[in-house]
Chain A
Amino acid sequence: SQTIHQWPATLVQPVGSPLSLECTVEGTSNPNLYWYRQAAGRGLQLLFYSVGIGQISSEVPQNLSASRPQDRQFILSSKKLLLSDSGFYLCAWKWLASNEQFFGPGTRLTVL
């Protein structure tokens, strides 16, 4: 069966510090991968998606970047965090031929 992991679960970082959030998927290959951000009480905003290793598409201009160094690994990064980067970050994957997305448990990021 497939499993998606995200870490850390929670993170408190000062403004201006770097960020690295990791997402890994087990039990499948060649998944589409996604990073979303969810502000408190709001819906999901798609940040990045990837259809293959090294292939990253950015949806929203921002202070963040994403990388996919391995088939089942998706990393969200920032060189310098802003207060507005606070939120709940969700990673998701799906099979190429499927429409359903499977979500990880999320990372709660607070930038102070």
Chain B
Amino acid sequence: SQQGEEDPQALSIQEGENATMNCSYKTSINNLQWYRQNSGRGLVHLILIRSNEREKHSGRLRVTLDTSKKSSSLLITASRAADTASYFCATDVLDYKLSFGAGTTVTVRA
């Protein structure tokens, strides 16, 4: 069963704006990961945040984790057309398995 749920399901923004999406999960986790999927392609790992971390940055990406609320957010700053994709959160409950949410589809308009 899916543990993570992303919100919103879809997001449309203007180039240069920030995009924020959220992920909620149900059980305790070891870490939470965010992946990007371009249309019809495989997933690409973006960033991992461990359960004892609250915030992490990677380039234009900022991830937060609130374990008390069982939620995470992904912020993409200064969005570009190339950021158009679906974004998935994945929770790592056991060391060898990930549970993916349904994803947020982001469209960046030029």
Contact = CB atoms under 8 A, between A and B. Distances in A.
Interface in B32-73: 33, 35, 40-45, 48
Interface residues on A, range: 20 to 34
Contact of B92 (A45, A99, A104, A108): A99
B56 to A, nearest CB: 13
Interface residues of B, number: 26
B12 to A, nearest CB: 16
Interface of B: 2, 4, 30-31, 33, 35, 40-45, 48, 88, 90, 92, 95-103, 105
A49 interface: yes
**Consensus secondary structure, chain A interface:** strand
A41 B31 CA distance: 25
Nearest to A10: B40
